[in-house]
Structure 1
Amino acid sequence: MKKTFLIIFIFILNHFLSAQNTSTHESFEENIPKGISATGGNLELDSKRIKDGNYSLKWNWVSNDTLVFKTSIGYHPQRPPLTLPVMIKNN
């Protein structure tokens, strides 16, 4: 009984620790969010090519242009899955 509980507990703990990824979603429905800019070209809202909603960000880039995010973009380095050593003792 104890080892069954321990195994279940470890699987649940691993699930919760590996599912802590958070994400940030920028909306372009009303305007281009502050903190997003281009160094050379310009940014505008576009309704031709969208994924979610009615508008997307269109970047009219020029040579050596850079898209700058001075805001959180939801990037988190991928962590390896947590694995805990389990010792099962047979009585």
Structure 2
Amino acid sequence: MTAYIANHQKKKSLLQKREQELEHALSHGFDDSKLERAAEKVREAKLAVFKALFSQSSVLPPHSYEESEEAIKWRDMPVSEIIRLYSVH
């Protein structure tokens, strides 16, 4: 039995926080460098959620994680596209 039990909800709540930060930056007209940093943080949080979901639903060890098509899409997505996605909200 493992001594550590992962809390996957933390990754999801961090993603929500990062998304709110990006939406806030967009609605208040922050400069491009701050928008890019916020978008990168959203990307990192989104990829962490994909890994957490893999870990939660798989019997394989976490180091055997292979990115899904959705994860690859987010990893390769340009920052400008992430900003555009969240500016629509």
Tell me if both proteins adopt one fold, taking TM over 0.5 as the criterion. Answer: no
User: Which one has a bigger Cα radius of gyration?
Assistant: 1
Q: Report which of the two has the higher share of helix.
A: 2
Q: Which has the higher contact order (CA 8 A, sep 6+)?
A: 2
TM-score by length of structure 1 reads: 0.29
